[in-house]
């Protein structure tokens, strides 16, 4: 089913120091997201931030599915902000550790003696 865009909101979030771009469908569901850190609204408007970021939007949808109880316990704007921080952090970590493709590659670089333990976490119940 194709969602029809109903409204776009430019939301300033003082606590997180960011402008948020939020697209809503006719049912009031979020259908597109983007954000810019900082309070320069003119730059937000002209700097390419007023369009949906497909990666961030899909990440938000996945978080709604993955953490429904946690995200339902806070407002929509708070859950969007939490997802924006998590998305940004994940990308930053990925970029910072791009050389280490796996934990094993990182541990091989350790200068101190590192031991790798394999543990089955499939049956934690």
> How far is CA 80 from its chain centroid?
8
| pLDDT (0 to 100) of residue 96 | 76
| pLDDT (0 to 100) of residue 106 | 57
| pLDDT (0 to 100) of residue 14 | 95
| pLDDT (0 to 100) of residue 55 | 96
| pLDDT (0 to 100) of residue 92 | 85
For helices 54-66 and 76-96, the axis angle rounded to 10 degrees is 110
Query: pLDDT tens digits, the chain, 125 residues: what are they?
Result: 567 999 999 999 999 999 999 999 999 999 999 999 999 999 999 999 999 999 999 999 999 999 989 888 999 999 999 999 999 998 888 777 776 666 556 556 654 555 555 555 555 55
Q: Give strand ranges (E) for the chain.
A: 5-13, 18-25, 30-37
Q: What whole-number distance in Å separates Cα of residue 8 and Cα of residue 105? A: 44
């Amino acid at each position: 089913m194709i969602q029809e865009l109903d409204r776009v909101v430019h939301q300033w979030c003082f606590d997180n120091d960011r402008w948020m771009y939020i697209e809503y469908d006719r049912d009031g569901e979020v259908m597109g997201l983007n954000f810019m850190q900082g309070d320069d609204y003119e730059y937000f408007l002209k700097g390419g931030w007023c369009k949906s970021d497909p990666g961030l939007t899909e990440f938000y949808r996945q978080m709604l599915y993955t953490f429904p109880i946690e995200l339902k316990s806070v407002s929509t704007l708070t859950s969007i902000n939490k997802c924006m921080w998590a998305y940004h952090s994940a990308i930053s970590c990925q970029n910072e550790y791009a050389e280490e493709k796996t934990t094993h590659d990182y541990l091989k670089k350790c200068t101190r003696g590192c031991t790798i333990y394999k543990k089955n976490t499939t049956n934690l119940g």
